[in-house]
Amino acid sequence: MDRRDFLKAVAVVGAAITIKPSEAMHILTQRTPATAGGTVDMVAVMGGEPAAMFQRGIEELGGMGLFIKEGQRVVVKPNIGWDKKPELAGNTNPELVGEIIRQCFAAGAKEVAVFDHTCDECRKTYKTSGIEDAARAAGATVVHADQESFYRPVSLPQGKRLKETKVHQAILDCDAWINVPILKHHGGANLSISMKNYMGIVWDRPYFHSHDLQQCIADVCTFSKKPVLNVVDAYRLLKTNGPQGRTASDAVLTKGLFLSRDIVAVDTAAARFFNQVREMPLERVGHLANGEALQLGTMSLDALNVKRVKM
């Protein structure tokens, strides 16, 4: 099975889990691929629960110790944009966030902070999403991002449209941060994944929407402090009415997870995954090609060693 077939199988199986799990597992069992040796560039996991998929995915990638070191101050940055419950898939899955935090502490992190510059009122959003409770239960500090005083200016000399912005102090002051978006439809950017999740670390979000959104998304990702890891939550996929989701029927239970240092590659894989549920040609997600042009990563998945895991 090549990468495209695998990603298609993930989507088909994930969508089928809510209908005929026995048939879905039969298809998957017959088509489990072998993985080449060498350094793993990306891990794609399917068929499990959020915490278990991350446990397996980070193990296959080499362990959390490759990304988080003893004594580090860490930020875990989910998408917590909307005052929506987890089943609507507008925000990152709280179980996944909790497990990532636990893994950071297990790797020796001194402290872990969680935040997002929300679109809805942050206190309601943090609570309704389930992320505040999950983060605190795992030992993290939950910080707010709703005041401009929390942000400091940074320059983006590589940016084409966005040359400067203000970034949240939690990112600026941490030793390492992990980018944890949810894969979902987005009315403006067409898809919201890892690169789009950067908009939650900056203050002036409206600027992006009024100055070539697809280019500004790529530009902000040139910020010098890159995430040490991108973890794309595709446990539930918001296929329409994004970025919020209106009803549970807008979401599909797909049970997927993608992990990689390469932000363009992991978003390309996730976009292909989304494309099997709802047609979304990669050229419509312009920030992917823009990011590759800025040398932020590659869209050529065939050049990477991708580990595929079925649970």
The SS3 of residue 115 is coil
User: Rounded mean pLDDT of 232-246?
Assistant: 94
Angle at 175 between CA 256 and CA 101, to 5 degrees: 40
Question: Whole domain around residue 111: which residue ranges?
Answer: 3-28+39-310
Residue 225 vs residue 9, higher pLDDT: 225
Residue 230 within any structural domain of the chain: yes
pLDDT band of residue 202 (cuts 50, 70, 90) is very high
Domain CATH number, residue 111: 3.40.50.11440
In a domain, 146, yes or no: yes
Name 76's Cβ contacts closer than 8 Å, sequence gap at least 6: 97, 100, 101, 104, 112, 113, 114, 135, 140, 177, 178, 180
Let me know: does 235 contact 199? Beta carbons within 8 Å. no
Rounded distance, CA 195 to CA 197, Å? Answer: 5
* Residue 33 lies inside a defined structural domain of this protein: no
**Does the pLDDT of residue 1 top 90, yes or no?**
no
**If you average pLDDT over every residue of the chain, what do you get?**
90
**212: phi > 0 → left, psi -120 to 50 → alpha, else beta; which?**
left
Q: Does a structural domain hold residue 145?
A: yes
Report the pLDDT averaged over residues 274-289.
95
Q: Say if 128 falls within a structural domain.
A: yes
Q: What is the DSSP annotation of 191-252? A: EESTTGGGGGSBS-HHHHHHS-HHHHHHHHTT-SS--SEEEEEEEEEE-SSTTT-SSGGGEE
Query: In this predicted structure, what is the pLDDT of residue 32?
Result: 34
- pLDDT above 90 coverage of the chain, percent: 85
> Tens digit of pLDDT for each residue in 4-35?
555 554 544 444 344 233 333 332 333 334 34
Q: Is residue 281 assigned to a domain?
A: yes
Burial 241-272 (b: 16+ CB within 10 A, else e): bbbbbeeeebbbbbbbbbbbbbbbbbbbbbbb
Task: Give the mean pLDDT of 287-305.
Answer: 97
Whole-number percent of the chain with pLDDT over 70 = 88
Task: Note whether residue 34 is domain-resident.
Answer: no
pLDDT in tens, 92-140: 999 999 999 999 999 999 999 999 999 999 999 999 999 999 999 999 9
Q: What is the pTM of this model?
A: 0.90
Phi, psi of 233 (to 5 degrees): -80, 110
Does residue 117 lie in a domain region? yes
Considering its fold, how many domains does the chain have in total?
1
Q: Summarize pLDDT for 241-274 with one digit per residue, the tens.
A: 999 989 999 999 999 999 999 999 999 999 999 9
